[in-house]
């Protein structure tokens, strides 16, 4: 038995807070009875109906995908482009945890575990993300290192960041910079480089919450094991 709002959130239907609102508003039925008390418990074998829709209490699934460039990281795309969900063969409704841009490659997690998703994307949990950015220029190392002090993007200063210069190729006029951030603002990495006058020409996420691309090539995916899922919960709650 678990709290009703937790079961609803775990089903991926909505967040726990939204589930509490729905319960308070009398929109949730358990085995035919409307439940309005937030303390109520239910089990995964109960029939839970919200606004007339029966919840599908699916087994939890956790997939780590090496997202290729040219794929949208949402469950649906209005323009009909291929999505990360299209790549994965699953009977469950999986959702990406956070977003990568259409032209960004790298680690993305997909799951139907709404609770873990919320923990991982909550800004206060400061989950680590490691990116490698290619700049088609010979960068000024000091200027690039200044990113770790924060820069203003969209009117707000960015949080802590780590910068590592991986390569500066004077002949090819290109640079590779590793940037580690703990937030997930819209187009954050590209905007951070823009703020110091550089345009990112290629972007790859090499690490997310400790998960790497090891053993995968672009477009491939694998399921997480129990130990990895437990570690993710521990990382997200820290
Ligand atoms: N920052 C970006 O600019 N793009 C991404 O896809 C991820 C982080």
User: Residue 58: is its pLDDT beyond 80?
Assistant: no
pLDDT digits (tens, 9 = 90+) for 198-218: 999 999 999 999 999 999 999
3-state secondary structure of 33: strand
Atom of ligand 1 minimally distant from the CA of 191? 3
Distances 223 to 44, 70, 97, 226 between C-alpha atoms, Å: 23, 22, 14, 10
Q: What is the pLDDT of residue 229?
A: 96
The best mutation among 159, 188, 194, 202 to test binding of ligand 1, ranked by most ligand atoms within 8 Å of the C-beta, falls on: 188
Q: Tell me if 62-124+210-237 shares its fold with 128-208.
A: yes
Instruction: Give CA–CA dist 102/131, Å, rounded.
Output: 15
Among the residue ranges 8-12, 72-76, 80-84, 87-91, the one predicted with the least confidence is 8-12
3-state secondary structure of 88: coil
The per-residue pLDDT of the chain, averaged, comes to 94
How large is the average pLDDT for residues 172-195?
Answer: 97
- Radius of gyration of the chain, Cα coordinates, nearest whole angstrom: 21
Q: How confident is the model at residue 59 (pLDDT cuts 50, 70, 90)?
A: confident
Fold assignment, 62-124+210-237: Alpha-Beta Plaits (3.30.70)
% of residues, the chain, pLDDT over 90: 84
Q: Phi then psi for 87, rounded to 5 degrees? A: -70, -30
Q: What is the pLDDT of residue 86?
A: 96
| pTM for the predicted model, two decimal places | 0.81
CATH class of the domain comprising 128-208:
alpha beta
Identify the active-site residue in 46, 101, 103, 169: 101
Please give the CATH superfamily to which domain 2-54 belongs: RNA-binding S4 domain (3.10.290.10)
User: Residue 93: is its pLDDT beyond 90?
Assistant: no
Q: Other CB atoms closer than 10 Å to residue 143's CB: what's the count? A: 11
User: Residue 149: is its pLDDT beyond 80?
Assistant: yes
CA proximity to 208, closest of 110, 84, 92 = 110
pLDDT digits (tens, 9 = 90+) for 15-47: 899 999 999 999 999 999 999 999 899 987 889
Instruction: Give CA–CA dist 41/37, Å, rounded.
Output: 9
Active site residue 101: yes
Among the residue ranges 1-5, 57-61, 90-94, 224-228, the one predicted with the least confidence is 57-61
Q: What is the pLDDT of residue 116?
A: 92
Instruction: Give CA–CA dist 144/86, Å, rounded.
Output: 37
Q: Can you say whether the dihedral through the CA atoms of 6, 7, 8, 11 is positive or negative?
A: positive
The best mutation among 67, 101, 151, 183 to test binding of ligand 1, ranked by most ligand atoms within 8 Å of the C-beta, falls on: 101
Domain positions in the chain: 2-54, 62-124+210-237, 128-208
Q: How confident is the model at residue 182 (pLDDT cuts 50, 70, 90)?
A: very high
CA-closest residue to ligand 1 atom 3: 187
Atom of ligand 1 minimally distant from the CA of 99? 6
Packing angle between helix 114-121 and helix 16-24, nearest 10 degrees?
120
Cα 58 to ligand 1 centre (Å): 31
CA-closest residue to ligand 1 atom 4: 187
Distances 34 to 9, 11, 30, 48, 54 between C-alpha atoms, Å: 18, 19, 6, 10, 13
Cα 4 to ligand 1 centre (Å): 35
Cα 100 to ligand 1 centre (Å): 6
Q: What is the pLDDT of residue 131?
A: 98
Cα 37 to ligand 1 centre (Å): 41
Count CA atoms closer than 13 A to 170's CA, side-chain side: 2
């Amino acid at each position: 038995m678990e709290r009703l709002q937790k079961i609803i959130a775990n089903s991926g239907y909505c967040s726990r807070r939204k589930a509490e609102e729905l319960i308070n508003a009398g929109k949730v039925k358990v085995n035919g009875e409307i439940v309005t008390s937030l303390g109520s418990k239910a089990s995964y074998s109960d029939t839970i109906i919200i606004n007339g829709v029966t919840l599908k209490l699916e087994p939890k699934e956790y997939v780590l995908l090496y997202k290729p460039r040219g794929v949208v990281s949402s469950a649906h795309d209005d323009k009909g482009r291929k999505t990360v969900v299209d790549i994965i063969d699953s009977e469950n409704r999986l959702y990406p945890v956070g977003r990568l841009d259409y032209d960004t490659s790298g680690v993305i997690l997909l799951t139907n575990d709404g609770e873990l998703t919320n923990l991982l994307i909550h800004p206060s949990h400061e989950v680590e993300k490691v990116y490698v950015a290619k700049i088609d220029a010979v960068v000024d190392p000091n200027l690039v290192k200044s990113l770790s002090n924060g820069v203003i993007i969209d009117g707000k200063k960015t949080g802590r960041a780590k910068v590592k210069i991986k390569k500066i190729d004077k002949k090819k006029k290109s640079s590779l910079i590793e940037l580690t951030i703990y937030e997930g603002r819209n187009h954050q990495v590209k905007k951070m480089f823009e703020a110091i006058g550089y345009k990112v020409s290629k972007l790859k996420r090499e690490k997310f919450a400790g998960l790497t691309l090891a053993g995968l090539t672009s477009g491939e995916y694998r399921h997480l094991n129990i130990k990895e899922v437990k570690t993710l919960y521990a990382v997200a709650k820290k």
